[in-house]
């Protein structure tokens, strides 16, 4: 089992500049090739860091540097630029209610499901073959999670019965 990423482990291999928003390698171990890899996701537009074999959004790593813990909510970009990791540009998802003009969707614990504040409805999406597919809209979160899981079964996602966030939510709440 992999060790959990902590602040103490992070500062041994990466430096972060809050002013510039840039990450710098400290340690590069030849035995473990590519301890850190930075990649750009074309689907979300986010940058990811691979630390100790697990991928993390770069904004979460910046938060870990500044606060000393992994965030429990989505980290948003104030200026809508997904590659601007300056500390002044990042904020927690709970601040959405104060700044509705920045983004109208609220992130959830289940990937592919977002709440549209303007329309008061849940939006369900899925990615298949590197394409985003809109599954539909639901009036309740539970209905949206069930719709997402049905889509995962239809598109034959490999972890649909084990690692799927929708499946875990449904089983934890005794909905399936």
Count of C-beta atoms within a 10 Å radius of residue 11: 14
**One domain for residues 109 and 71:** no
**One domain for residues 4 and 32:** yes
pTM, 2 dp: 0.49
Structural domain containing residue 71: 1-101
**One domain for residues 147 and 97:** no
Question: Residue 112's Cα: distance from chain center in Å?
Answer: 11
pLDDT digits over 62-118, tens only?
999 999 888 777 788 888 777 788 999 888 875 434 444 434 455 577 888 888 776
For residue 4, what are its two tokens?
């959990």
Domain boundary among 54, 71, 101: 101
pLDDT digits over 112-142, tens only?
888 877 677 888 888 877 778 888 888 888 8
CB 105 within 8 A of CB 112: no
pLDDT at 107: 59
**One domain for residues 40 and 92:** yes
CB 164 within 8 A of CB 111: no
**One domain for residues 95 and 129:** no
**One domain for residues 70 and 137:** no
**One domain for residues 8 and 72:** yes
């Amino acid at each position: 089992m992999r060790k959990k990423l902590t602040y103490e482990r992070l500062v041994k291999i990466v430096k972060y500049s809050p002013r510039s928003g840039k990450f710098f390698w400290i340690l590069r171990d030849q035995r473990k090739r590519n301890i850190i890899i930075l990649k750009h996701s074309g689907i979300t537009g986010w940058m990811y860091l691979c630390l100790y074999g697990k991928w993390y959004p770069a904004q979460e790593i910046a938060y870990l540097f500044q606060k000393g813990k992994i965030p429990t909510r989505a980290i948003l970009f104030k200026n809508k630029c997904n590659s601007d990791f300056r500390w002044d540009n990042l904020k927690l998802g709970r601040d959405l209610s104060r700044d509705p003009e920045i983004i109208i969707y609220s992130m959830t614990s289940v990937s592919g499901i977002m709440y549209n504040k303007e329309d008061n409805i849940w939006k369900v999406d899925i990615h298949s073959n590197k394409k985003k597919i809109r599954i539909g809209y639901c009036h309740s979160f539970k209905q949206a999670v069930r719709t997402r899981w049905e889509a995962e079964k239809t598109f034959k996602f490999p972890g649909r019965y084990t690692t799927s966030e929708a499946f875990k939510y449904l089983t934890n709440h005794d909905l399936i």
